[in-house]
Structure formats: structure tokens, C-alpha cells
Structure 1
Amino acid sequence: MSTRPPLIDVVEHEPGCPLDRFGPWLADAGAPVRVVRPYAGDAVPSEPGAGLIVLGGQMSAYDDGAAPWLPAVRSLLAASVEAGAPTLGICLGAQLLAVALGGAVDVGAAPGRESGVVDVVWRAEADDDPLVRGLRAPFPGPSMHADAVAVLPPGAVWLASSAMYPHQAFRVGPAAWGVQFHPEVSLPTFTGWAEALSDVHTETVTAELAARDSEVAAAGQALAARFASLVVRSGLRAG
């Protein structure tokens, strides 16, 4: 009798910030996805499944008025950590993970917007981390954020930093990660973000990504494959 592969639940906060290249990369690695779009009326799951990815968005981690589904997402993140389900928060998703577990986010952080391709430097703690150990160093992380994790949750493991912002990656519990950068993003999606922001020089940041896209894609696909492997090996129930 055949068994279905485990499904990763993906919370998408807005159409302009999709799973992008991670979708086929995860499927190729044996972990297809189910995208939940609460802005379009989808219900946020109340319990974790085999895996969870929470994507980015223009709202802040505290912006429950503009995005009334955020409390449910924070609750889901906390439940996923408690269950030990492989979990990945990307940009806003990382900030929501931090807040859900007792950390804090600085909205409109003083250093300003971090944009372009950021060299993410792994700390010694990353050497034995199940998700990021052995990944490209420095990791080329496309970035487009002005909010930032200011305080890590209690017990979190600090994994990476950049020249501009310290908390580029962290782990909470055995299997939940937050990354401030966007390993999933393609050049067309990134261009759309830059064009929508008055404080970003579109030509500069898109040229930077275009020039480094082969290394960005290779690094992002390696991270996606590692995450998919963790989901498949976790043994948690499929969706």
C-alpha cells in the first residue's frame, strides 16, 4: 500500500510574497506543500501537520489590525514548536516566530532597510545545527526588510548575523527556525518588492541579485532540500 508524502503547510500573507522557488524545490525533495492564504479567506490550521513554513509580508509581526489572522499564525507557530514539527519562518515569518515564543521585534529598526543580497555569516552554533550546518558560507541571502528581531526568544540558539542586523537566523526548540533573509525568492518577485518601496533603488538591488542569482539559487535549493528532508524524516502525520 502506498503512503502519501508529508505535506508542508505554507502560510502566505499576501500574493506578492509567495513560496516562489521553494515550491518545486520542496516537491523535488519529496515534500509537497499546501498553501494557506488567510487574506483570501483560508482558515489558518489550529494544529501543526508534518511541517510548516510561514512566509514574509509587508505588515509587521504586531499588525493584527491590518492582518487579523496573525494571532492564529503565532498560535500555530507556538504549537508547531511544542510538537517538534519542522518549522521555518522567513522574514516576517521569522519575526512572528520570535514574538510567538517570547522574543521581540523592532518595527522600523534604527539601522534602516536591509536590501539586496546580504552575506549571512554563520556563527559557531550553526556547525551542528540540523538545518544549516554545512551550507554555503557566507550564505547569500536576498533581503528586503525594515523590521528586525530585536530580542530572541528564551532558549533560542543564535545561528547567523549580517553586517547590518545581528539576528539573521535562529532556532527555537529542536526543529523550528527563523531566517530574516529570503532563500526562496526569484528575481521577478524580488523586483516587484523593490519597485513598491520608495526607499529602495530598484536597479541597484535587482542588478545585485541578477549577478549573484546562480549562487543564491544553489544556496536556497540546498536549504529547501535540507528542510524537506527533516520533514520527511520527522515521522509526523501527513496532511
Structure 2
Amino acid sequence: MGERLIVIEHEADAGLGFFAGWLEAAGVEAEVVRPYKGEPVPGRAPAGLLVLGGSAAAWDDEGYGWLPATRDLLARAVDEGVPTLGVCLGAQLMTMACGGTVERGAAGLEIGLGEIEPLPAAAADPLLSALPGLSVLSGLSGLPGGRVRAVQYHYDAMTSLPAGAVRLAAGTMYANQAYRLGDRAWAVQFHPEATPAIFASWTAGGALPPERAAELNARVESAEDELRRTWRPLAEAFAALVARS
């Protein structure tokens, strides 16, 4: 076993989800750092870095005092060519750390089972090319135009990407759903790691009418097998990069 993948977890109900088992099965050991419990954000992540989501705004340094250190860690990992993946808040923190812009989303809350459209550059990308049947993605879930589905829950958006970023996926509400920076760093606005149980914990906070929350939860739960088929190959491709680093 090589060095561990550093995982930054921002809150208890936004953990590794599906990724915990997928990474373990791929032979990658995750070291989960929980700064909301007072654990310090490390200065480096030599083998790999995964920054998860959370309810914080990426710029709310006063409310979440570990965000500056997390942005610094992301910037260093990108500069050093460390395999790096930012998910939702993690993607937004990476965007800010590397010179892009994150703002409150003009289209409002994007939530539930959403459609993602891989762009042409995804076909040659080390991570997104691992999606099953990328050239015929419509056969994966019955969606037209090569789209796939993923869990979404975010208010903020990556409105401008860092210089040199390669856009890999788009969406209907928000254009920037995934990009690569350099050769080994990725940001995804959606949640490939989110299980139905994790998503249900997010909708249980009372921000949504109960009927709406139940409808969204049911749609995510009904798509669990599809979500596993779609996103496990991406997790495995990322794990392979970490294992080789």
C-alpha cells in the first residue's frame, strides 16, 4: 500500500458515500480529514487529494475557517501534478484557488437527479473517458444526446474557469459541470459520490416542502443502479492515478 489519498470532508452528512467502497476495492486507502471537528488541513497531499462537498459558500472564510487552508492545499496539489478531484464545494474551492470565479448561482438551486452532457473533450479525458460507452452514452440511461445523470445539490456556481481549464461537461441550469486543469486535476459540480441515503439527509433539513423532498428522494433512489454504473468507472480511473503517483 502506498501513501494515502487525502480526503477533506466538510461536514458529517457529506462524506465519501459510494466512493468509500469503490476506492477501497481499487486498492486506495483514504485518510479522511475533518476540519469541522478541529482536525488541521495538511499542507500537502503527496499521493492524491479529494475535496468533498458541503453547505458552505466557497468564499465564506469567516464561517468556515479551514477554507483558506483547503484552497491553498488544492492550489499546491494542482501545481505539483498530484491527482486531485474536487466535488461540488471542492470543485468551487479549486476554481477559486486556481484563479477562477465562483458566485451565487443566478438560476437558483440545482437539486435532485440532473442531466449532465459530456463535451467532446471528455472522450479523451483520463477520467471522463472511463464512463461506460462514452461515445454511445445515450444507451446507458435512455437519455438523448449522450447525456448521463448525476445527483445535484448546489446554490453556487463556477461562473468563470481558471486559465487553461478544459471544459468536460455542461448542464442545462449551469454551464460548467466539469473541467480538467493540467493533466491530473478535475472539478465536478455534481455529486458522483452521493448515495440515495446521503441525498435524503440533505433534503431532510426543512428547506424544501416535504412533498418536494419526497419526490426528489424517490427519483434518486430509483436511479441508484444507474448511478453506480455511471460513476464507479470514474472513481476507479481516479484511484488508478492515485495508485500510480
Match of 1:193 among 182, 198, 202: 202
2:107 paired residue among 82, 106, 111: 111
1:85-108 Cα offsets, whole Å, 9 max, x none, are 10000000000000000000112x
Q: CA deviation at 1:24?
A: 1.3
Summarize the alignment of residues 27-46 of structure 1 with structure 2, pairs less than 5 Å apart: 27-46=24-43
1:13 aligns to 2:10 (yes or no): yes
How far is the alpha carbon of 1:224 from its aligned partner?
0.8
The offset of 1:128, in angstroms, is 0.8
Helix, strand or coil: the match of 1:78? helix
Cα distance change of structure 1 residues 197 and 177 upon mapping to structure 2, 3 Å threshold: farther
Which residue type is aligned with residue 129 of structure 1? D
| Preserved CA contact (<8 Å) 1:23 1:32 | no
| Aligned counterparts, 1:47-196, within 5 A | 47-107=44-104, 109-136=105-132, 137=137, 138-196=147-205
Q: Does the aligned pair in 1 maintain the 2:87–2:190 contact within 8 Å?
A: yes
Structure 1 letter corresponding to 2:168 = L
Q: Describe the shift of the 1:197–1:145 C-alpha distance in structure 2 as closer, same or farther (beyond 3 A).
A: farther
Structure 2: how far apart are the matches of 1:91 and 1:154?
Answer: 19
Give SS of 1:88's match. strand
- Equivalenced residues, count: 230
Moved more, 132-141 or 72-81: 132-141
Equivalent-residue separation in structure 2 for 1:126 and 1:144 (angstroms):
23
Q: Describe the SS at the equivalent of 1:89.
A: strand
Q: Which residue of 2 aligns with 1:25?
A: 22
Contact 1:5 1:30 in 2 (8 A): no
Matched, 1:210 2:221: yes
Q: Which amino acid aligns with 2:120?
A: A
Deviation of 1:119 after TM superposition, in Å, equals 1.4
Q: Deviations over 1:125-156 (max 9, x none)?
A: 11111111141432321001111100101110
Structure 2 CA distance, aligned partners of 1:144 and 1:13?
A: 15
Within 1, Cα distance between the matches of 2:148 and 2:206? 25
Q: Mean alpha-carbon deviation: is it higher for 214-223 or for 95-104?
A: 214-223
**Alignment partners' CA distance in 2, 1:114 and 1:85:** 30
**Structure 2 unaligned regions, length at least 5:** 138-146
Q: Which has the higher helix share?
A: 2
Please tell me whether the aligned partners of residues 130 and 233 of structure 2 are also in contact (alpha carbons under 8 angstroms). no
TM-score by length of 2: 0.91
Gap runs ≥5 in structure 1: 235-239
In angstroms, what is the RMSD of aligned CA positions? 1.2
- Deviation beyond 2 Å, 4+ runs, structure 1: 136-139
Secondary structure of 1:133's counterpart equals: helix
Do the aligned partners of residues 197 and 75 (structure 1) sit closer, same or farther apart at CA in structure 2, a change above 3 Å counting?
farther
Cα distance in structure 2, aligned partners of 1:232 and 1:134: 16
In the other structure, the counterpart of 1:220 is: 231
3-state SS in 1 of match to 2:129: coil
Distance 2:230 2:34 in 1: 27
CA deviation after TM superposition for structure 1 residue 220, in Å: 2.0
TM-score by length of 1: 0.93
Q: Any conservation in 2 of the 1:119–1:140 contact (CA below 8 Å)?
A: yes
Whichever residue aligns with residue 176 of structure 1, its letter is A
User: What letter corresponds to residue 106 of structure 2 in structure 1?
Assistant: A
